[in-house]
């Protein structure tokens, strides 16, 4: 699924998370070692490392929130995972802030309570990191798996009254086997050129909510990338699980060199 916060095509959130992870784990090591060896210089550096970790963590969170709101498919297992990922990591930052508040100033001896908070925060960060990894490797958040121009990512917002035929593109705009994610009155609909004509169907995979616009379209079938369910894009029928339910489809017409979509009624497709 293409990221919404990118730099030269690369997702920004994973580029930045190395900073808080480094600073916050260094803070724990320096504070604990400083306490054991009774070295004020070590825990002072630990305190500043904790501060740098919290600040860089907040900076790294910003593109993460952009992707959370704009890229993770709504109502999917990835959305749930991303929510836990966010809550766990924010809690880790809050524990570091509480640790700073307890110690009062950078040069002050942190004490074992602060070290324990930092240890717990690092544990939470590891859990959050595991979930972040799953979002990338399993849910393909920020992964661009497309090849050549055939399936280049494409997205468009369409506004029209419910039940109206609305022009969505020129007939030659999408290449055969190319899809476009349409946001139609708050609903996510995939417009697809099967090579034998256009059709439209719901974006949400009926298994765990992956975006089918991010899947692979071939021979009039779309395959979900998360667990491999396959659907006939014209009838919406589910041909291969683990999904059990078919997809909602929408009326599409080609007229005068243009493609028209009948917009879904409020919330009922």
Taking the complex as a whole, how short is the minimal distance between the CB of residue 207 and ligand FES, in angstroms?
A: 3
Q: Would you count residue 81 as binding ligand FES (CB under 6 A)? A: no
Under rule CB under 6 A, which residues in 196-225 are in contact with ligand FES?
A: 205, 207-208, 210, 224
The site map against ligand FES for 43-62 (x = CB under 6 A) is --------------------
- In the chain, the largest separation of any two C-alpha atoms, in whole Å, equals 81
Candidate residues 151, 178, 229, 263; the one interacting with ligand FES per rule CB under 6 A: 229
**What kind and span of H or E run contains 32?**
helix 18-37
Under rule CB under 6 A, which residues in 231-260 are in contact with ligand FES?
A: 242-243
Quick one: DSSP state of residue 100?
A: H
Cβ-Cβ contacts under 8 Å for 197 (sequence gap 6 or more): 254
CB atoms within 10 A of CB 104: 10
Q: Would you count residue 190 as binding ligand FES (CB under 6 A)? A: no
Cα–Cα dist 176/30, whole Å: 58
Closest by Cα among 195, 187, 186, 169 to 249 = 187
Q: Would you count residue 39 as binding ligand FES (CB under 6 A)? A: no
Cα–Cα dist 191/200, whole Å: 4
Taking the complex as a whole, how short is the minimal distance between the CB of residue 77 and ligand FES, in angstroms?
A: 7
Taking the complex as a whole, how short is the minimal distance between the CB of residue 58 and ligand FES, in angstroms?
A: 32
Quick one: 89 or 202, whose CB is closer to ligand FES?
202
Q: How many amino acids of this chain bind ligand FES (CB under 6 A)?
A: 11
What are the Cα distances from residue 65, in Å, to 53, 69, 121?
18, 6, 20
Binding site for ligand FES (CB under 6 A): 205, 207-208, 210, 224, 226-229, 242-243
């Amino acid at each position: 699924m293409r990221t919404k916060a990118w730099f030269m095509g690369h997702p920004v959130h994973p580029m930045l998370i190395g900073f808080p992870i480094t600073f916050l784990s260094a803070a724990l090591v320096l504070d604990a070692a400083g306490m054991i060896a009774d070295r004020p210089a070590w825990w002072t550096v630990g305190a500043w490392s904790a501060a740098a970790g919290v600040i860089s963590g907040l900076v790294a969170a910003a593109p993460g929130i952009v992707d959370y709101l704009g890229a993770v498919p709504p109502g999917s297992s990835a959305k749930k995972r991303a929510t836990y990922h966010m809550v766990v990591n924010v809690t880790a930052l809050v524990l570091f802030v509480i640790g700073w508040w307890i110690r009062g100033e950078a040069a002050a001896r942190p004490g074992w309570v602060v070290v324990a908070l930092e240890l717990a925060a690092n544990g939470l960060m590891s859990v959050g990191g595991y979930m972040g990894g799953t979002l990338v490797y399993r849910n393909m958040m920020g992964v661009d798996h497309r090849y050549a121009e055939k399936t280049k990512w494409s997205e468009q917002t369409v506004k029209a009254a419910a039940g109206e035929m609305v022009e969505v593109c020129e007939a030659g705009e999408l290449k055969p086997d190319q899809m476009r994610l349409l946001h139609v009155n708050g609903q996510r609909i995939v417009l697809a050129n099967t090579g034998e004509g256009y059709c439209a169907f719901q974006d949400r995979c009926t298994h765990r909510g992956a975006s089918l616009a991010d899947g692979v379209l071939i021979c009039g079938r779309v395959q979900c990338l998360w667990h491999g369910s396959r659907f006939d894009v014209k009838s919406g029928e589910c041909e291969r699980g683990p999904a059990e339910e078919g997809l909602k489809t929408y009326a599409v017409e080609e007229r005068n060199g243009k493609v028209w979509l009948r917009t879904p009624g409020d919330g009922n497709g």
